[in-house]
Structure 1
Amino acid sequence: MTQSIITTLLWFSALGCGLLAGLYFAFSTFIMTALGQIGQAPGISAMNAINAVIQRSLFMPFFFGTTLVSLALAVLALFRWGEPGTALMLAAGVVYVLGMFVCTVIFNVPLNNALDAVDPASAQAAPVWARYLQDWTLWNHVRTAACLAASALYIAAIAAR
């Protein structure tokens, strides 16, 4: 029974990481560029609207659910060390939790909060927006890579089992 639960959690995490990788990939490859091209006030307003909506969307259960399951799988891997796929399971959990969740909390969320605190049309918003476009996107690239790598590692762990 435990094996089937772990396999189910591995699939959940592989798919959750893949979904989030796709979302972050879209932001990294074209959404942020488009927001930067429409101008400061509309770009800030659009990004603030996205940030407000995403917090009330289906994204949040996947964001937190995948994080919690990834953390649980990493801990389980330590207790089941030596079984097929456990090293991959541990690596996936660590990559995901550090590269996606911790990165989001330490870098992306504070940048979102700073952006939300400025008047989009003010002169004070210009340096905040310039920093946001550069720094938020950089850390989003990290989240994209972490999610993609974790998804691949989870799939490899499933195959190894």
Structure 2
Amino acid sequence: MAGTLVTALLWFSIVACGLLAGLYFTFSAFAMTAFARLDTAAGVAAMNSINRVIQRSLFMPLFVGSSLSSLALAVIGALHRDEAGACAALAGGAIYFIGMFVVTMIFNVPRNNALDASDPATAEGEALWLRYRKEWTGWNHVRTLASTAALVLFVIALGGRP
């Protein structure tokens, strides 16, 4: 697993995992609780606004770039399992890609789309908001833990390199 490219991928992934773990932690620790204290229409409007703005922000290149770098580290780790740090890179990459990227695409994004299409002024819209907060936040906890665990594993992988 030698090479400047792997070292660069590890450093980028460490920083990216830290930034995204912090973002996800914010929502898990207090943002969703704050939104729940707003009336339904205001809470939905706030979350929808965040979901629209985040798609056109620096978050997106970081989200995509970190997903690709973690996948690359998982593959490199798998191909070089006998080298120092490779198993940690493999585990970190797999945990991040599945626990952050795949979870986001399968569980969080569809809920965001449903929320955006809802009318919070209706009984169905209010019920969706209640369900959204519980389910979306639960999956966000997974993203937070996966990003944090991957960060630790990438640090271990970097520390194990010659």
TM-score band, normalised by shorter chain: over 0.9
Matched, 1:90 2:90: yes
Give the secondary structure class of the aligned counterpart of 1:106: helix
Aligned residue in 2 for 1:71 = 71
Note the C-alpha offset of 1:123.
2.1
- Report how many residues are paired: 160
Aligned residue in 1 for 2:7 = 7
Report percent identity of matched pairs.
Answer: 56
1:100-142 CA-partner distances (Å, limit 9, x unpaired): 0111111101110110011122222111000001000000000
Q: Which whole-Å CA distance do the structure 2 matches of 1:74 and 1:138 have between them? A: 25
Note the C-alpha offset of 1:81.
1.9
TM-score, normalisation: structure 1:
0.97
1:51-96 CA-partner distances (Å, limit 9, x unpaired): 0000000000010000001101111112222110000000000000
Gaps of 5+ in 1: none
Aligned residue in 2 for 1:122 = 122
Matched, 1:113 2:99: no
1:133-144 matches, cutoff 5 A: 133-144=133-144
Structure 1: 4+ residue segments shifted above 4 A: none
What is the CA RMSD across the aligned residues, in angstroms?
0.8
Could you tell me which amino acid in structure 2 is paired with residue 13 of structure 1?
S
